[in-house]
Structure 1
Amino acid sequence: MKTLSTTTPVLIVDDDEDDRWLMGQAFKLACPQLTPMFAKDGEEAVDSLQVMPLPVFILTDLNMPRLNGAELVEQLRIHPFYRTIPVIICSTSVSDDDRQKCYLAGANAFVTKPHQFADLTELVRCLLTVWIRKVE
């Protein structure tokens, strides 16, 4: 069980500004101890990781410009400092090919992005339970 503080980050990577904001709100509701940090794509996420404390996990969209979610996971898995960070792909895609591609890249989980905020908040609670095992 990890100990959380108000400086414990979770990195949310999504090219859609509204989705980033909604994810941030869902995390604040589900676990105010975490600090949501944001990146617009995989390249910005890699840059952010170099200057921020290590996140408890990364929640990333799959389809983004420059460096998509699967490519981000591939880059993280070859870097010794970042390879153990859990990465969850959260996508609107329901394609088995996309799911397989993400797992082959090294993703820890692949979940479908909910359409309703209440469902998104519940998804975040579930992710926290699985990846942190403590939601206060």
Structure 2
Amino acid sequence: MTNEMRIVRPIEILMVEDNPGDVRLTQEALKGAKVSNTLRVVEDGAAALDFLYRRGDYADAPRPDLILLDLNLPKKNGREVLEVIKQDAQLKTIPVVILTTSQAEEDVLRAYSLHANCYISKPVDFTQFTKIVRTIEDFWLSIVTLPPK
């Protein structure tokens, strides 16, 4: 299929984040995105897996094109969620961006050993956080070719 014939649809982003402030900042940063996107948010690791496996309240959930995953989550932490995603033949092709406050070397190494696609430490500064989200958007939604659904 040529680029001219490609059907343009919004990019589905699943954000797994329990901090409402970070969710709000991400929503604001993605509002003016160059690429049409839909940001869906779940607040814990168990809900993330329900969303991905379309269980319970998420029976009609769309398959995400990209996952923004925090590591420090209630119920199931981000490491556990990442491990499940990357071990599942149906889910492992979804790019997972770790977006977390942790800068611990062991967290970085563990995330990459579990096949995270990239690891980004959240800045505490509002302007820097917005810049990071826009950089994620520029790279993952504009430059990279995401796997087909």
TM-score band w.r.t. shorter chain? 0.7 to 0.9
Identity %: 33
Which deviates more, 20-29 or 85-94?
20-29
Distance of aligned partners of 1:30 and 1:43 in 2 relative to their CA distance in 1, 3 Å threshold: same
Is 1:123 the counterpart of 2:132? The answer is yes
Q: Secondary structure at the match of 1:30?
A: coil
User: Which aligned pairs between 1:87-106 and structure 2 lie closer than 5 A?
Assistant: 87-106=96-115
Q: Distance in 1 between matches of 2:76 and 2:126?
A: 27
Cα distance in 2 for residues equivalent to 1:120 and 1:33: 20
- Alignment correspondent of 1:60: 69
Q: Which residue of 2 aligns with 1:15?
A: 18
Q: Residue in 2 aligned with 1:34?
A: 37
Per-residue CA shift, 1:30-66, capped at 9, x if unaligned?
A: 3461111001011111111223222121001111111
Q: Hey, what's the Cα distance between the residues in 1 that align with 2:8 and 2:79? A: 27
Q: Check the 8 A contact 1:56/1:86 in 2, yes or no.
A: yes
C-alpha distance in 1 between matches for 2:141 and 2:21: 25
Q: Structure 1 unaligned runs (5+)?
A: none
Q: State the TM-score, normalized to the length of structure 2.
A: 0.79
Structure 2 portions without partners, runs of 5+: 55-59, 144-149
In the superposition, the TM-score normalised over structure 1's length comes to 0.86
Number of equivalences: 134
1:24 is matched with which residue? 27
Q: Secondary structure at the match of 1:62?
A: coil
Q: Which amino acid aligns with 1:63?
A: N
Shift of 1:116: 2.5
- Does the 8 A contact of 2:25 with 2:130 survive in 1? no
**1:42–1:72 contact (8 Å) kept in structure 2:** yes
Question: Who wins on radius of gyration, i.e. which is larger?
Answer: 2
Q: Are residues 24 and 32 of structure 1, via their aligned partners in 2, closer, same or farther at CA, if it must alter by over 3 Å?
A: farther
